[in-house]
Amino acid sequence: MSPIFILARMTFVQAIRRRIVLTGLLLGICFLVIFSIGFRMINTSTIGAVTPGGGEGIQHIIDTEKSSGLFLAGLYAVTFLGIAMAALLGADTLAGEINSGTIQVIVTKPIRRSDVVFGKWLGFAGLLGLYLLLLAGGTALSILVQSGYVAPHLVAGLALIYLESLLVMTVAMLFSSRFSALATGGVVFGLYGLAFIGGWIEQIGAVLNSQTAVQVGILTSLIIPSESLWRRAAYEMQSPLSGLLGISPFGATSVPSLLMVGYAVVYLLAVLALTVRVFQKRDL
Amino acid sequence: MPLAPAIETNELRKVFGDNAAVKSLTLQIQQGEVFGFLGPNGAGKTTSIKMLVGLIAPTSGTACLLGAPLGNRITRARIGFLPEHFRFQDWLTAREFLTLHGELFGMEHSRLAAYTDDLLERVGLSTFRDKPLVTFSKGMLQRIGLAQALLNHPALVFLDEPTSGLDPVGRILVRDIIRELREQGTCVFLNSHLLSEIEVTCDRVAFISHGEVIRLLDLAALDTGQVTVTLRVTGLSQETASGLSTWAEAIHLDGNHLTLTARNEETLPEINRYLVTHGVAVYEIAPKHVSLEELFIETVGKEGGL
């Protein structure tokens, strides 16, 4: 078996044994239960009930908008949980093992240091995939069962959210290959915050037709394109009507282009390559 | 064709900031040799080992392991390593831990399962094979670490303070394992400051201080036959004492205590006879071999690495 897969499996088993996955699962299930109850209460409330003279068509539009809005709100929370998980996993992995010394008996085996980085990355990618599938899939399923609503471009949207969590995890691994876990956590959440604020500046700028604000947003997306992936995902999955109505907390007004998605992929690969390079040079 | 040296270093140097942890390490150690690496704390022993096993990059200098330059991946399959601070993947059971490391060595699964059990037996952990390492004591972790270092039937093993966490039983186990490795022709590079440990296991030792080899010693040759003796006597004059120079040197009389270095142990009865015929009452003759510890202090100085 290739050392990359041996280490990916090790990383996966480690996360399960160290109860990281269990904690994540419990929180995820809590989230799904609360979300489902909340959705049920809103869905069965009288707000938006058919007014006399109103057609079934209008009722349908209102129901769809309600489901769509709540679905995106739910996914927004799921995305945040996924990013937190990605940042924590990535921040601790190399820094933690270098600090404790467990890395010493790994890298002195007849393997490449890049195998260690790729193996860990692959293990975490598998974990994050399952985690997001459970949470985002659960959210979509809950809405489907309760209201019959399925968001447009669901698969593309979820793939973008997954890409965002992979991006954050990879950035965390880069800093983790050089700095302590705590410093890495600080830097990664700082970058995430920067992207978040940049995204909002871009959105508000778009509504107010401020080209400068939009450019500031794009600039922060170039520094770290995580938030723009969420906005592209939200754009893909929003109902056509909300797209027309403009700004909403969970939708997208200034839509990141496909070029930005491509940039995010290249960015991720470049950060991964840099992680390998930094880790190769590092005295352990 | 003669075997390539197990370890050959040439002016290996490592500088951290403006502190040279290892100034200039030049060594040649043959395959099958058990080599002791001695020095006070901070002498650069662990840094040297870390350079050799590829954990840290030398600032300058060159080194070859088993004939291949440092960092050669294929050679690493023939090298075992027990790090100083043995911290391992403690969420694995003993058997899983060895399986993981065997896989990383590129060993076949079929061969690995049987060998893992043998090794666990050898280091005295077979009853703990399915227990997670997190429940292990320091000594048990040291043992499993040692098993990990021997998993690949290495031609060269680096042991960094292998007995530091062990009780006397564990120390004897390590000593026996090193002896077996020597019989199998494995080169052992033993880093320790337990001098008695080194004395009984090693063929040769290097004393290092401030990152430099200051003395190389062949332990077999250390036993030159000379023996330092302390005698408790009464009625010995300086003149009679001087007469002992026929058999001994460094003769020193201090009250009732006479110390001297005899040529060999066989001369001791003659010395006794000489003293008795000169009217000296001999109460005690205590021969004392020169220990590695004394040599260490003599070489490195009492202040050690401070």
Question: Of A13, A14, A101, which is closest to B87 when you measure between CB atoms?
Answer: A101
Summary mean pLDDT of chain A:
86
Q: Average the pLDDT over A84-99 and give the result.
A: 90
- Tokens representing A237? 């999955």
* A·B CB contacts under 8 A: 64
Question: Of A14, A110, A281, which is closest to B91 when you measure between CB atoms?
Answer: A14
pLDDT at position A109 is: 94
Q: Could you say which residues from 190 to 229 on chain A have a Cβ atom under 8 Å away from some Cβ of chain B?
A: none
Taking the domains of chain B in order of start, what are their residue ranges? 7-219, 227-288
d(CA A137, CA A131): 9
> B88, A14: Cβ pair inside 8 Å?
no
Q: Which residues of B touch A (CB under 8 A)?
A: 50, 53-57, 73-77, 79, 81, 83, 85-89, 91-92, 100-101, 103-106, 145, 148
Enumerate the residues of chain A whose CB falls inside 8 A of the CB of residue B189: none
The fourth-level CATH superfamily of domain B7-219 is P-loop containing nucleotide triphosphate hydrolases (3.40.50.300)
Domains B7-219 and B227-288 share a fold: no
pLDDT at position A53 is: 54
> B89, A100: Cβ pair inside 8 Å?
no
CA-based nearest residue to A71, from A140, A173, A2: A140
pLDDT at position A263 is: 92
| Percentage of residues in chain A having pLDDT higher than 70 | 91
pLDDT at position B224 is: 60
- Taking CA–CA distances from A3, the nearest residue in chain B reads B104
**Inter-residue contact A201 to A213 (CB < 8 Å):** yes
Maximum alpha-carbon separation in chain B: 77
**Inter-residue contact A94 to A281 (CB < 8 Å):** no
pLDDT at position A249 is: 55
Question: Of A10, A110, A283, which is closest to B77 when you measure between CB atoms?
Answer: A110
Enumerate the residues of chain B whose CB falls inside 8 A of the CB of residue A10: 89, 100
Q: How many CA atoms lie within 13 A of A169 on its CB side?
A: 26
> B148, A105: Cβ pair inside 8 Å?
yes
Q: Average the pLDDT over A82-104 and give the result.
A: 91
pLDDT at position B42 is: 81
CATH code of the domain occupying B227-288: 3.30.70.2470
Phi, then psi, of B21 in degrees rounded to 5 = -70, -40
pLDDT digits (tens, 9 = 90+) for A201-226: 888 888 888 888 888 888 888 888 88
Q: Average the pLDDT over A150-175 and give the result.
A: 92
Site of tokens 């009780």: B167
pLDDT at position B207 is: 87
pLDDT at position B14 is: 93
pLDDT at position B306 is: 46
pLDDT digits (tens, 9 = 90+) for A111-135: 999 999 999 999 999 999 999 999 9
User: Count H helices, E strands: chain B?
Assistant: 11, 14
| Residues with Cβ within 8 Å of residue B82, at least 6 apart in sequence | B142, B145, B146, B148, B149, B157, B158, B159, B160, B162
Residue ranges of chain B with pLDDT lower than 50?
Answer: 305-306
Class of residue A240 by CB neighbours under 10 A (exposed 0-12, middle 13-18, buried 19+): exposed
Confidence of residue A55 (pLDDT cuts 50, 70, 90): low
Ranking A42-51, A158-167, A169-178, B214-223 by mean pLDDT, the lowest is A42-51
Site of tokens 């063929």: B203
pLDDT digits (tens, 9 = 90+) for A236-259: 888 766 665 555 555 556 788 888
pLDDT at position A172 is: 95
pLDDT at position A243 is: 60
Q: Does A109 touch chain B (CB under 8 A)?
A: yes
d(CA A203, CA A246): 10
CA-based nearest residue to B300, from B212, B221, B198: B212
pLDDT at position B159 is: 94
Per-residue b or e along A103-125, where b marks 16 or more CB atoms closer than 10 Å to that residue's CB: bbbbbbbbbebbbbbbbbbbbbb
Confidence of residue A22 (pLDDT cuts 50, 70, 90): confident
pLDDT at position B194 is: 77
| Residues with Cβ within 8 Å of residue B71, at least 6 apart in sequence | B54
